[in-house]
Amino acid sequence: MQNSDADRLTDAVIEAFGDTPDPRLRQFTTGLVRHLHAYVKDVKPTFDEWMRAIQFLTRVGQACVGARQEFILLSDVLGVSMLVDTVNHDLPDGATETTVLGPVYVDNPPIMPLGADIADGLEGEPLYVEGVVRAAGGAPVAGAEIDVWQADEAGLYDIQKPSVGEGESELRARFFADPNGRFWFRSILPKFYSIPVDGPVGELVRATKRGTIRPAHVHFMISAPGFERLITHVFVKGDPHLDDDAVFAVKPSLIGEFVPKPAGAAAPDGREMKAPWRLLSYDFGLKPAAAKAA
């Protein structure tokens, strides 16, 4: 028998999912029903408003084309990405804090040798990045796989630039740490930038008068056998938007010193830098996979 009473309706829908064989799926579905029904009871949308919400979500899905992931962007601006990150990471001492993946990650970036210049002639203030990948206890992790990606000095990623063709990349690379866990590469100083606002998520942000800027940062994804994969950023200290990141991803421990160096000063690899440049020295700690299983 159909139920018109709001509370009884919620109970009936939850009961309908009660025989789901997979207990985790049952938890997901019944939890979703409980909280979604509570949301509807709270805000009491009209039929027209609910249809607009459905149309908005439909357009978010339709905007997920190629490397663009509008649903990740929606999750980011609602703070859900950071909330999922927070509830999933109980880190031991010495492990680097995590943050959002973001909507502009691209699988299988080009593998480059240590010391390579991922900017490859792009304009910008030269940047030298070095560090060590360690276990949370301090031991170096030989051969760790290190994906890096970042925006250019105009605040654009390669997938946002018509000049970068399909299969090509800029300011993306994959490195492998040396036997002592060390890595180093060259780039340019990243710039703060606006999240993409040309899609339905941008419409939401503008309608709510939200800020759209992300502070400057370099993305890192670090993997090694026996460890949890680390997804994080290193933010540029002094960036004017550290306190109002559009996706709530800044953590104090992830703010790095991009130290200014004068022209003529030698980089750590011994090569002379002909123009003023920046040095980022940042070590990463990995959480053992066994800790997650426990």
Token readout for 194 is 């606006």
Q: What are the tens digits of pLDDT across the range 40-64?
A: 999 999 999 999 999 999 999 999 9
Domains delineated in the chain? 6-77 (no CATH), 92-293 (2.60.130.10)
Maximum distance among all Cα pairs of the chain, rounded to whole angstroms: 82
Q: What is the pTM of this model?
A: 0.89
Confidence class of residue 68 from pLDDT cuts 50, 70 and 90? confident
Q: Identify the pLDDT of residue 1.
A: 46
Q: What is the DSSP letter of 223?
A: E
- The pLDDT, as a whole number, for residue 57 is 98
Q: Tell me the C-alpha to C-alpha distance, in Å, between residue 252 and each of 1, 45, 131, 238, 262.
A: 55, 39, 18, 12, 27
Q: What's the CA gap between 172 and 102, in Å, rounded?
A: 14
Q: What is the pLDDT of residue 110?
A: 95
Residue 109: name the closest of 100, 101, 118, 117 by CA.
Answer: 118
Cα(132)–Cα(284) distance, integer angstroms: 6
| % residues pLDDT > 70 (the chain) | 97
Among the ranges given (10-19, 86-95, 143-152, 221-230), the one the predictor scored with the smallest mean pLDDT:
86-95
CB atoms inside a 10 Å sphere around CB 178? 16
Question: Is the model's pLDDT at 293 over the cut of 50?
Answer: no
What percent of the chain shows pLDDT beyond 90?
Answer: 86
Average pLDDT over residues 118-125: 94
Among candidate residues 139, 145, 221, 148, the one with its CA nearest the CA of residue 180: 139
Asked if 70 contacts 103 with a C-beta cutoff of 8 angstroms, the reply is yes
